[in-house]
Amino acid sequence: MIKLMDLLKEGVQDKGIFKAVFLAGGPGSGKTYAAKQIFGIPDRFNISMSGMKMVNSDKELKFLLNKFGFGTDLDKMPDEVFLNLTGDGPDASGLRKFSKSLTKQRMKLYQQGKLGMIIDGTGHDFAKIQKMKSELEADGYDTYMCMVNTSLEVAQKRNQERDRILPPDLLEKSWKDVQKNLGAFQSLFKNNFVIVDNSKHLSDEEAEAKFVPLVTKVVRKFVAKPIKNKLGKKWVEKQKLLNRRK
C-alpha cells in the first residue's frame, strides 16, 4: 500500500495536483483507446505518462473475473451467471461490489494525496458524477469532463471486439442513458467540457492526428494550468510553507 506521506510529498510537486478529469462514454465508445491517446496510459498500469492516476472499477472487475476463472466474455454466459457475477443484488456473487470498493479505496488514497486523477466511467449515472464532482471541488480540485461519443451501431460492433463483451440490450440501454445526459453534463462542467467523436475506426496515424491536438490544446492545457480552486491553492501554499520550515 502506498504511504499517504509519500503521496503528499509527491502531490506538492505534481503538475496534475488538484486536477480531476472525468472520462465518460458508453461501452464500446472506445473510451479506453481514447484515454491511451489522450493521456498515454499503458494497458497494465493505473498511471498516465503525465502522472495522472487512473480510477476505473472495470479494470478491477476484469482482474477479479480472470483471477477466479470466469473470463470476461459476459455475452456468452447464461443470464443467471451474468447477473450473479456483475450484479449488486443480495443474491449476487459480490465481485462487482468488491471491485467498486477497491476502486473507491484507490481513489480515496489518491484524493488524500491531492493527486491528479482520471476518473473513468460510462456517464450513464448523472447524479453520481454530479456528487463526485461536488465532493472533489469541496476538497480543492478543479474538474473537467472529456466525453468520448460514438453511434450505437459502432458501439455494438466494438463491443464484440472487447475482452469483456456485454449483452447487446444492456449496452444499448447504457448508450441511451449516456446520450440522455450529454446536455446535463455540458451544463454541469460548462467550459471544462469537451466531446470527442470516436465513431470511426482509425489507423494509428489517423488516431494520432485526431487525438494529439486535443491533448495539447484542451486536456493537458487544463492539467498544466495553475489551480483555480481557492481551497486547493491555499493547501499548496501551506504545504510549501511547511516544507520550507523543515
Is it the case that residue 86 has pLDDT exceeding 70?
Answer: no
The reported pLDDT for the residue numbered 83 is 56
Q: Which carries the bigger pLDDT value, residue 116 or residue 93?
A: 116
DSSP class per residue in 55-83: E-HHHHHHHHHHHTT--S-GGGS-HHHHH
Give the model confidence (pLDDT) of 186-232 as tens digits. Answer: 999 999 998 888 877 666 566 667 766 776 677 778 888 899 999 99
Least confident of 24-33, 107-116, 198-207: 198-207
- What CATH number does the domain located at 13-57+118-245 have? 3.40.50.300
Please provide residue 222's backbone torsions phi and psi, each rounded to the nearest 5 degrees.
-65, -45
Residues in the chain: 246
Entry pTM: 0.74
| Residues 46-78 pLDDT 10s | 444 456 788 876 665 555 556 555 555 555 555
> What's the grid cell of residue 56?
476505473
> What confidence tens digit (pLDDT) does each residue in 130-151 have?
999 999 999 999 999 988 888 8
Q: In terms of C-beta density within 10 A (0-12 exposed, 13-18 middle, 19 or more buried), how is residue 161 classed? A: exposed
